[in-house]
Amino acid sequence: MRAAVFDAANAPLQVREVAEPSCPHDGVLVEVEACGVCRSDWHAWKGADPDVTPPHVPGHEFAGVVIEVGPDCQRFRIGDSVTAPFILACGHCPECLGGDPTVCGDQQVIGFTAWGAFAERLPLPRADFNLVALPEEIGFVEAAGMGCRVTTAFRALVDRAELKPGEWLAVHGCGGVGLAAVMIGAALGTPVLAVDVNEKALTLAAELGASKTLNVADLSDAGEAIRDLTGGGAQVSLDALGITETFHNSIRGLARLGRHVQIGMPLGRHAEPSLPLLELVYARQIAIMGTRGIAAGRFPALFAMIASGRLDPARLVTKTIALEDAGAALAAMDGYTGSGITVIDRF
């Protein structure tokens, strides 16, 4: 089959013939119809993820059709339209049984611990626990555009922060996952403040439901500006980028008893930011939590929001490309790549 492969960190992504994958005994083989291009794929390509060993095929935001079913898979059939969370949990450990498979100690990660979906076909193990059937009204490009970004934002706001209608939400970084958070916050009935350094990103955030926008490029105290705009601070704030500046802006812009959720992956010098523990965590009693991925069992709640018309992930997809263009899409992430989500839909 054809796949986009890199043979070393930061090496060119080359589309070439690779060995056909076999169907897992407890899983399925999927014909990939669409796959998002995510900054997490860029991290893997740059060599920042210790789980990735070249030669490697990235890609974790897939949607496709089941073409083969393993003997121990009971819930799916050939011809089913499917997607899956990028974290494939074991399904039987205490965390999985307790409803928290994203912290499963025996997880497999599509496109990281195993080859991913920048390819014509993708094997999916542990399908009965992890695979998700797509509703008829959700197309492959739309499902891939949801990918890890809409699903991660949904879990961050609904499951982790427990965002309530009327609470202020501040979103720091209006890339794919940040824009998804803006849309979901608006769908939940909360006022949303979109924060970024790029006016085009902020314009798109406003179109997707942000109540207010704030360009912090030239601000000396973004936290104070956020508190002023939100009448004392946001009750929930997301760092959707993962750098020290956005983390600090997020926690300093919170109201008392506010909740910060870390979505962006902090790497290098950003992995250990300083924290004014006495002022923020002790005196103002803010909560700091992380989020990564979503459980397969939470997709129905997300699909219900889409079916109701309150959320339209298709609006986030701003570009579709062929598999041959995946390398250029990743390389473009070395700088600012514009707003929205790019999806591979031609393999």
pLDDT tens figures, 61-98: 999 999 999 999 999 999 999 999 999 999 999 999 99
pLDDT in tens, 230-280: 999 999 999 999 999 999 999 999 999 999 999 988 878 888 888 888 888
CA distance 125 to 277: 43
- The predicted pLDDT at position 147 comes to 85
Start-to-end CA distance of the chain, whole Å, equals 10
Q: Are residues 282 and 302 in the same domain?
A: no
Q: Which domain, by its residues, includes 143?
A: 2-149+294-346
Is 136 exposed, middle or buried, given 0-12, 13-18 or 19+ CB atoms closer than 10 A? exposed
Q: What are phi and psi of 180, to 5 degrees?
A: -60, -40
CATH of the domain at 210: 3.40.50.720
Q: Are residues 279 and 308 in the same domain?
A: no
Q: How many domains does the chain have?
A: 2
Determine the average pLDDT of the residues in 10-24.
97
Q: What are phi and psi of 226, to 5 degrees?
A: -65, -45
Where among 290, 305, 321 does a domain terminate?
Answer: 290
Q: Are residues 121 and 61 in the same domain?
A: yes
Is 17 exposed, middle or buried, given 0-12, 13-18 or 19+ CB atoms closer than 10 A? exposed
Where among 257, 273, 290 does a domain terminate?
Answer: 290
Using pLDDT thresholds of 50, 70 and 90, give the confidence band for residue 12.
Answer: very high
CA distance 289 to 220: 26
Q: Are residues 127 and 232 in the same domain?
A: no
Q: Are residues 183 and 86 in the same domain?
A: no
Does residue 226 or residue 341 have the better pLDDT? Answer: 226
Using pLDDT thresholds of 50, 70 and 90, give the confidence band for residue 336.
Answer: low
Task: With CA atoms as reference, report the closest residue to 233 among 260, 261, 208, 256.
Answer: 256
Q: Are residues 182 and 240 in the same domain?
A: yes
Q: Does the pLDDT of residue 103 top 80, yes or no?
A: yes
Where among 270, 290, 310 does a domain terminate?
Answer: 290
Q: Are residues 269 and 311 in the same domain?
A: no
Q: Are residues 127 and 69 in the same domain?
A: yes
Q: Are residues 144 and 37 in the same domain?
A: yes
Q: Are residues 231 and 187 in the same domain?
A: yes
Specify the pTM.
0.92
CATH of the domain at 53: 3.90.180.10
- The predicted pLDDT at position 338 comes to 61
Q: Are residues 33 and 97 in the same domain?
A: yes
Q: Are residues 172 and 260 in the same domain?
A: yes
